[in-house]
A and B are shown apart, each in its own frame.
Chain A
Amino acid sequence: MAGIKAPERPLSPHLQIYRWPLPMAMSILHRITGGGLYVGTLLMAWWLIAAGTGPNAYATFGTFINSILGRLILFGYTWALLHHMLGGIRHLIWDSGHGFDPNEREWLSFATAAGSIVLTILVWVVGYLYIGGAR
């Protein structure tokens, strides 16, 4: 039907218009961290294959993971892993039919965000204490 223009209709507001409610942000982060962990599996594969190959391959992996970039990636991986785990627990609670009250929703979403940050810092503090500081 060329030449016939559809009348202009008001569009409903979408993601860029709304203020992001916390549960929505956490939901999107759950998917993003899941995607990140998907790619991060390559890091685990490299680590395990290097360990299975020999000292030289393991040292090469060690050099990478100990570099600034490697540590940043590992820090991000730690956070993504813990965030996805806590978000998964939240989703399991929701799957069971609980936690849907407005307050509970907000609280669970906040707990995911705060818990993932606290746990990530805790893991890294323990890690640094364990290896006796940066090398």
Chain B
Amino acid sequence: MTEHRTPLGRVRGLGPSRSGTEDFWHSRVTAVGLIPLTVAFVLLVISLLGRNHAAAQQILGTPLVAIVMLLFIGMSIYHMWIGMQEIVVDYIHDEFWKLVVLMTNTFFCIATGLACVFAIFKLAFGV
């Protein structure tokens, strides 16, 4: 069969991640956001060292702390989703296994992120 598409048309959108430079840019945006959030997260963990469940529950459920944690979770999960995708397309060249691992990456990030967000909501809203 004759190929009618131009060489440019054939390769368009066919980078290893099947998309353009959005991932690069989003990775940098989340990286900038994660600098202050990481500092806040480390300080929060230090402040909770050795505390019992009631204290941890109360502090983690405080609106300001809960919001900072939600931002940290959201940004870091998205950042690591992009990062792992980058690692996968660098090292796995078999098309089938690449897709399998990329999907696993997506499922892992969504599940882990959702679990963390749910836990924060439960701590903040009680029940």
Residues of A whose CB lies within 8 Å of any CB of B are: 31, 34-35, 37-38, 41-42, 44-45, 48-49, 51-52, 54-55, 58-59, 78, 81-82, 85, 88-89, 91-92, 95, 123, 126-127, 130-132, 135
A42, A52, A91, A132, most chain B CB atoms within 10 A:
A52
In the assembled complex, how far is the CB of residue B11 from the closest CB belonging to chain A, in whole angstroms? 26
Please state if A130 and B47 are interface contacts (CB–CB under 8 Å): yes
Please state if A81 and B112 are interface contacts (CB–CB under 8 Å): no
Which DSSP category, helix, strand, loop or mixed, fits chain B's interface?
helix
The size of the chain B interface, using a CB distance under 8 A, is 33
Residue of A nearest to B32 (CB): A92
Residues of B whose CB lies within 8 Å of any CB of A are: 28, 31-32, 34-35, 38, 42, 46-47, 49-50, 52-54, 56-57, 60, 69, 73, 76-77, 80, 83-84, 87, 112, 115-116, 118-120, 122-123
Please state if A38 and B116 are interface contacts (CB–CB under 8 Å): no
Closest 10 CB pairs of A and B: A131-B50, A48-B119, A52-B119, A58-B53, A52-B122, A55-B53, A131-B49, A49-B119, A88-B31, A38-B80
In the assembled complex, how far is the CB of residue B96 from the closest CB belonging to chain A, in whole angstroms? 22
* Given contact pairs A54-B53, A131-B49, A41 touches B77 in the complex (Cβ within 8 A): yes
State in angstroms the CA–CA spacing of A48 and B114 once bound together: 11
State in angstroms the CA–CA spacing of A58 and B60 once bound together: 13
Cross-interface CB contact of B80 among A34, A58, A92, A127, cutoff 8 Å: A34
In the assembled complex, how far is the CB of residue B107 from the closest CB belonging to chain A, in whole angstroms? 13
